[in-house]
Amino acid sequence: MIQTSTEKLRGRKLFLWGSGSGGRRWQEFLSVPGQAYLEIQAGLARTQLEHVPMPPRTEWRWLEAYGLMQGDAATIQGSDWSAAVGEVDSRLEALLPAETMQAEFERCGEMIDRQPAELFQRGSGWGALERLRREADGEPPFCTSALIFDDESLGAAQQPWLQLLNHGTFPQAAPDAVPTSYMVQAEWHTRLEQALQVQPDSGWLAWLHLGVMRQYDGDDEGARAAWEESYAQQENPWALRNLALLARLEGDLSQAAALYQQAHQLLPDLLPLTVEVGRALIDAGQAADWLALLDAMSAAHKQHGRLRLLEGEAALAVGDYDRVQRVFDDHVIVADLREGEKSLSQLWFDYQAKRLSEIENIPNDDALRARVQQEYPLPPQYDFRMVIE
């Protein structure tokens, strides 16, 4: 597979997660059996570690093309880099001449500002909402008429903001209802602040959103006040969760755990909240409380990969080695594992070191950890390490 573009895109990269055991595991994990996953990336800068400042009211355009290409394998995969590049360049030029690419780019440029004759599909309603806000505030459009952001694209996620825009009020909602959307844009922040000054009893949801806006702007105390007001107007798990996160950010792990538990009691079936509760309890030194809470959950929740990982961490903290081993024996899959995250490998090596330390009555020190690395290698299915120390 080959990717090419007009001159504006300067950087190109084949992304593989490296050639280590963890990198190879990522390629297997994200693909079908027998096929290795990879990405082709392209960008305005030469590497991902660079950025290119874009001046205001500037437009940058380019055209990309993707396709299949055959070349001489011995040359392309050989040790002579210049020969490999030359082989690919010549094959690409025969497949898609640079003149053809440039001509297509210019042809497409003529269509960019042309209104479509037929609309096949609408995007989300956020473009339409921003169009309406700009019209209300007397601001110029953010795009030409070639891009269609009509009212028909507006949906449930935009309705609270439409009400704020058109009526200066925020809708009420049941406290267990998941908020449909969030905004942190300065213009919406100003609107909501003004609306709550006029009508401070607008309800828990309005204050919840104001707290999110304030915290995004770095006003933690203002956010705290808004979330406390949200909870005062209506007991709700969302304000409690946000207050818990604020306590965590401030280093008060005990208070964070307590608030997270309160939130979880109001909304026990929300999986992302359950994950955060587990993390908070373990970090606060309350691993036994987390295991007790986990044991009382539904079977479906208990089998979730991230919760099994937290189960293993908590079991290790309380010295229940059999339970830790069961987590690994069950071939747990943590589907939301993040790139660079070492939770699985860390749990494995911590478990082996702590277990051996107690069995042999020896210190759990660097020497033991080095021994564990040699005697208890990480099972391949749990190896997602980007760097092996």
Compute the distance between CA of residue 175 and CA of residue 203 in angstroms, rounded to an integer: 10
CA atoms within 13 A on the CB side of 192: 27
**What does the pLDDT look like over 283-335, one tens digit per residue?**
999 999 999 999 999 998 999 999 999 999 999 999 999 999 999 999 999 99
> Which residues, 6 or more positions from 313, have their beta carbon under 8 angstroms from its beta carbon?
282, 287, 343, 347
15 pairs with which residues across the strands? 39
Whole-prediction pTM: 0.89
SS3 120: coil
pLDDT of residue 210: 98
4 pairs with which residues across the strands? 65
* DSSP letter assigned to residue 202: S
Place of tokens 């993707």: 66
> Which residues, 6 or more positions from 238, have their beta carbon under 8 angstroms from its beta carbon?
175, 179, 208, 230, 263
Compute the distance between CA of residue 381 and CA of residue 29 in angstroms, rounded to an integer: 9
Residue closest to 308 by CA, chosen among 289, 280, 283, 335: 335
Tokens at 57, concatenated: 């009211």
pLDDT of residue 168: 95
Q: How many residues does the chain have?
A: 389
8 A C-beta contact, residue 188 and residue 212: no
Beta strands in the chain (DSSP E): 2-5, 11-15, 39-43, 64-67
For residue 324, how many other CB atoms are within 10 A of its CB?
25
pLDDT of residue 144: 87
Domain extent listing, the chain: 2-51+60-109
Write out residues in the chain with pLDDT < 70, as ranges.
389
Compute the distance between CA of residue 368 and CA of residue 359 in angstroms, rounded to an integer: 12
- What are the start-end ranges of the H helices in 9-72? 21-29
Tokens at 240, concatenated: 């409690």
pLDDT of residue 254: 98
* DSSP letter assigned to residue 348: H
CA atoms within 13 A on the CB side of 109: 12
Q: Which amino acid is at 234?
A: Q
* Diameter of the chain measured on Cα atoms: 78
Report the percentage of the chain scoring pLDDT > 90.
86
